[in-house]
A and B are shown apart, each in its own frame.
Chain A
Amino acid sequence: MSKVFVGMPAHAPAGVGALHASESFPAAARTALADTQLRRNLGAATTTIRAKREAVVGELADWEQLRLAGQAIKAATMARLDEHLIRLEEEVTKRGGVVHWARDAAEANRIVTGLIQATGADEVIKVKSMVTQEIGLNEALAEAGIAAWETDLAELIVQLGHDKPSHILVPAIHRNRAEIREIFLREMPGVEASLADEPQELAMAARAHLRRKFLTAKVAVSGANFAIAETGTLVVVESEGNGRMCLTLPDTLITVMGIEKVIPSWTDLEVFLQLLPRSSTGERMNPYTSMWAGITEGDGPQEFHLVLLDNGRTAVLADEVGREALHCIRCSACLNVCPVYERTGGHAYGSVYPGPIGAVLTPLLTGVLENPSLPYASTLCGACFDACPVRIDIPSILVHLRARSTEQTRKPPSAEAIAMTLASWVMSSPRLFGWAGRAMRAGRLLARRGRIRRLPPPLSAWTAARDAPSPPRQTFRQWWRHRDGGTP
């Protein structure tokens, strides 16, 4: 292999991990929209979190400045990402950690599997981590005969239910407590049949189950919210304390993080620790913030590995408009304010990253032709941009990816592309446009009582649920021409 940069960096490969949707968004959304339990849970949860977020954000007079600071720090960090990563590696190594570089999901899975096998363990406990879902680590470990136990309560529910997470922050948002009880009874060893579907009883059952795992597991796998380059410090923020147990009890800790998680200094962390909990759970501060650098003799894990994952991130960085998506701190505020997400839930996006950020990040990581329907899974209403703590202009990235999508498609032009080209041609000519406007009057033949109830495809998608307006007898420009006795 040549060391000279000879082309575009690679996208995340297909066939491994959870970035490649198996079904288009409109098709998957249709299924989700019909799920009344999902609709109710999502509606209730997103409404509650939205209100909490608004209240705690409203407390800070400098919230907009904090957002600007977050955006600026991320932009500056990405501009020198290579330098910060090398510094991080040096500092982690200096403190007794071992750094591994993984160019994609398959390589990361190989590295982690090898590290676990070297310890002789056949089971690991996991801290809630999106990146290990992105690479399909649990599935790779299962193939190698290693059981991976999720310890975040919601992730545990998802795992035991042989299910997929549907929300960044609340992965089991699509389940109700009766379903959770049923999953626990079926899948969790040692659960009594008398288990009630009361939140406290369910939590206690999960606690008993997880304690057994915490006290026996020799290896833990985590993700990271931030990595501070200047001291090689990893940061995990969480609510339950299960993460803290994973990070401190086992002998070996393996942390997998996307390369975009690095920040240069502790003063940068200050900004994000204000932005993240308020945007995420709607709390002023999250209950548990764990930080560690390398290993400490006689205290905590005695072996620490850090796997730095690319998996398409360098390709995203090469995209001048799309690179902003790498600023995401995974707070999920954009999901909670998104009117599309609120109705379809996360599974419809077919990726570990759902909602507005998923609609841009997933196709950026995989290449837009791998997930061509995702950039269109938005009305461009802009609520996500307003909620984003690091001001990612998601609507502009969506529009950018839509252009990428139509421009990269090499198939013979679609009916839509032909219609758009034709429309462009007509609309570039005032004369043709005037004729077209007048020709639309023929549509009046379809109208009854001033409205059209049925149109042929593709406009039938409109009239399936809405009337179409009857074209007027006179266009505006005709009216204008005649209003003053014919003077234009």
Chain B
Amino acid sequence: MRVALFVTCLADTLFPRVGQATTRLLERLGHEVVFPPAQTCCGQMHINTGYQRQALPLVQHFADVFEAAEAIVAPSGSCVGSVRHQHASLARRLGHPRLAERSAALAAKTFELCEFLVDVLGVTDVGAYFPHRVTYHPTCHSLRMLRVADKPLRLLRNVRGLELTPLPDAEQCCGFGGTFALKNSDTSTAMLADKMGHVLSTRAEVLTAGDASCLMHIGGGLTRLSAGTRTLHIAEILASTESGPGGAVPLAVTAEKQGRVAPSARNAGADREAGS
């Protein structure tokens, strides 16, 4: 299948390794990945902060960029949630019925990575290898907007070497909430503290999830505490193999090395591929 990758603005600018892993994974499964270079942002931050009029050009732009795609895949539950559940109604509210129709048509062929793998491709074993103790946080929008249910867990259970440990109170929000983390930073921090407590109680090496945004939040809290758990997007785990392009994501990188050798270590095989 020819898959149009919607990498999301956050992964594009801050977490390129998430997009790289998604690309490697889909290509390894025998699919063609295309990256429409005109893509930018779904507008979710604008919509959820109350700036619908400013989001309208982004909704329009998304439709222009992806209209021709056979299937659109994004490594994010909340961005797909916005495309699927907000774009059409926003266009309608602001008096653009034609755009609303186009957005509704796009919504039907836009998928979050895990649901695309399980529902569309019918794969639950992607042939990944990741010999680490991992816990999984179901992000709110993947859970309650998209209803991905246990699809990510089914994918993780089939990763060789991976020891999956349940996260207590997993379904409770981590406190990110987009601009909520800034506007209500105290409440957000209180929620984060509880989430981190649960994550650390699992003694997992890695916390994974389907949204780079929530992981940026929880991960930012964990590194601030110099905690012994790191965060990885689920695409990065599913893309890991013993020998395939990129190789297993190395975990045995000390913080010091990370600082000096920087992205080549953190971005692992992805940067190697890029020839850096």
**Interface bits B22-33 vs A (CB < 8 Å: 1, else 0):** 010000000000
A404 CB, nearest partner CB in chain B, Å:
8
B: interface residue count bin: 35 or more
Structural contact, A427 and B40, CB atoms closer than 8 A: yes
A443 CB, nearest partner CB in chain B, Å:
9
Closest to A406 in B: B50
Structural contact, A402 and B50, CB atoms closer than 8 A: yes
Structural contact, A466 and B259, CB atoms closer than 8 A: no
**Interface bits A422-442 vs B (CB < 8 Å: 1, else 0):** 011001111001001100100
**Distance in angstroms between the alpha carbons of A218 and B178 in the assembled complex:** 54
Structural contact, A402 and B276, CB atoms closer than 8 A: no
Structural contact, B185 and A461, CB atoms closer than 8 A: yes
Q: A339-B172, A477-B37, A488-B37 are in contact. Are A403 and B50 (CB under 8 A)?
A: yes
Q: A340-B191, A424-B54 are in contact. Are A430 and B40 (CB under 8 A)?
A: yes
B220 at the A interface (CB under 8 A): yes
Q: A382-B141, A462-B182 are in contact. Are A474 and B58 (CB under 8 A)?
A: no
Structural contact, A26 and B183, CB atoms closer than 8 A: yes
Contact residue among A448, A465, A482 (Cβ-Cβ distance under 8 Å from B221) = A465
Q: A428-B61, A433-B41, A479-B274 are in contact. Are A380 and B46 (CB under 8 A)?
A: no
**Distance in angstroms between the alpha carbons of A416 and B183 in the assembled complex:** 11
Closest to B262 in A: A450
Structural contact, B220 and A382, CB atoms closer than 8 A: no
Closest to A430 in B: B38
Structural contact, A440 and B270, CB atoms closer than 8 A: no
A469 at the B interface (CB under 8 A): yes
A243 CB, nearest partner CB in chain B, Å:
34
Q: In B261-276, which residues have CB < 8 Å from any A CB?
A: 262-263, 266-267, 270-271, 273-276
B258 at the A interface (CB under 8 A): yes
A372 CB, nearest partner CB in chain B, Å:
10
- Grouping DSSP codes into helix (H, G, I), strand (E, B) and loop, the B interface class, with mixed when no group exceeds half, is helix
A480 at the B interface (CB under 8 A): yes
B93 CB, nearest partner CB in chain A, Å:
8
Q: A33-B190, A465-B224, A467-B223 are in contact. Are A482 and B274 (CB under 8 A)?
A: yes
Structural contact, A449 and B176, CB atoms closer than 8 A: no
Q: Which residues of B contact A474 (CB under 8 A)?
A: 16, 263, 271, 274, 276
Closest to B223 in A: A467
Q: Which residues of A contact B190 (CB under 8 A)?
A: 33, 343
Q: A379-B140, A467-B223 are in contact. Are A399 and B86 (CB under 8 A)?
A: yes
Structural contact, A382 and B144, CB atoms closer than 8 A: yes
Q: Which residues of B contact A437 (CB under 8 A)?
A: 12-13
B184 at the A interface (CB under 8 A): yes
Structural contact, B37 and A449, CB atoms closer than 8 A: no
Structural contact, A472 and B53, CB atoms closer than 8 A: no
Q: Which residues of A contact B7 (CB under 8 A)?
A: 476-477
Contact residue among A382, A407, A461 (Cβ-Cβ distance under 8 Å from B145) = A382
**Interface bits B231-275 vs A (CB < 8 Å: 1, else 0):** 000000000000000000000000110110011001100110111
Task: Other than A466-B192, A475-B16, give 8 A-B pairs with Cβ distance below 8 A.
Answer: A26-B187, A379-B191, A430-B40, A461-B182, A469-B15, A469-B216, A475-B12, A477-B35
A-B contact pairs, 26 of them (CB 8 A): A25-B184, A339-B173, A343-B191, A376-B184, A377-B187, A381-B144, A381-B173, A386-B144, A399-B47, A420-B46, A421-B51, A421-B54, A428-B58, A440-B14, A451-B223, A459-B182, A466-B192, A467-B223, A470-B262, A472-B263, A473-B262, A473-B263, A476-B11, A479-B16, A482-B274, A483-B274
Interface residues of B (CB under 8 A from A): 7, 9, 11-17, 19-20, 23, 35, 37-41, 43, 45-55, 57-58, 61, 86, 140-141, 143-145, 171-173, 175-192, 194, 216-217, 219-221, 223-224, 255-256, 258-259, 262-263, 266-267, 270-271, 273-276
Q: Which 5 interchain pairs have the tightest Cβ spacing?
A: A379-B177, A402-B50, A466-B220, A382-B144, A449-B259
